[in-house]
Structure 1
């Protein structure tokens, strides 16, 4: 079963990895971390390829994250009612750390809601986009790197 999944990811290649990051950027419940780790394993990028791929992945994630940002921007009253608990938690980070909370929260679950909070708070699009890119890049690189290292560990033992 696992070999079939890895084979399928290998068949999809970079397109599948970038699609994963796009879905992850949409802030919908999705096991993106598992898929990105698996891609690091399957694609076996060298360090420079990993850095470049992490940059492209981050750009795709950032582009997708503008959808929940714009939803928050345009539908702020709706989201304040429907996602009150999650929005309040993200807003707490936002109030405590200011704009940098956009970058700091990206690797964590709360980062999914920060897009809505940034939109609701009417953060300008350029700082939002740059901070999202800065925040997700380390996560993307580390996940690809860990997946790649897992491949080397598997080869060392088997």
Structure 2
């Protein structure tokens, strides 16, 4: 049991929730199957790392939005308005899908559209923790 392995899991989970091409499931599953760490600790470390990764992506959304009037900005005002209408209707609950492969885009949109910080954090934490709990249960089912 080493702290370095837990740091590796944390960084893999954090990277997986940003625009970087990381996969934390392989690291998580390997560590769980290795049996050196209690599952609750793996879920905690991975969930915190993955949630923090989404927070970074959310902050990137806040940061990039200030450039919306620039010529190079990737979205038109009409696209932003359409996204705001959609997000105002479904957006908050879509944060529960931030665990999915397209979840980075949802976290980025939440930042651009200024989702209230407490709401963002609660919903994303639920989604990310739920993801690792289900992964832990699925992995336990493979061996049990």
Interval containing the TM-score (normalised by the shorter chain): 0.7 to 0.9
Other structure's SS at 1:75 match:
helix
Give aligned pairs, total: 133
Q: Distance in 1 between matches of 2:86 and 2:32?
A: 30
Q: Whole-Å Cα distance in 2 between the matches of residues 31 and 110 of structure 1? A: 13
Deviations 1:12-63 (Å, cap 9, x if unpaired)? 4222212211111223222222332222222365xxx424532332122212
TM-score normalised by L of structure 2 = 0.73
- Given the superposition, is the C-alpha separation of residues 94 and 135 from structure 1 closer, same or farther in structure 2, using an over 3 Å criterion? farther
RMSD: 3.1
**Counterpart for residue 30 of structure 1:** 22
How many Å separate the matches in 1 of 2:49 and 2:125?
Answer: 9
Aligned to 1:129: 121
Q: Which has the higher helix share?
A: 1
Question: Which one has more relative contact order, counting CA pairs under 8 Å at least 6 apart?
Answer: 1
Structure 1 unaligned regions, length at least 5: 1-9, 154-158
Residue 85 of structure 2 is aligned to residue 99 of structure 1 = no
Whether the aligned pair in 2 keeps the contact of 1:102 and 1:131 (CA below 8 Å) is yes
Q: Residues 56, 12 of structure 1: CA spacing in aligned structure 2 closer, same or farther, 3 A cutoff?
A: closer
2:13–2:23 CA contact under 8 A, matched in 1: no
Aligned to 2:31: 39
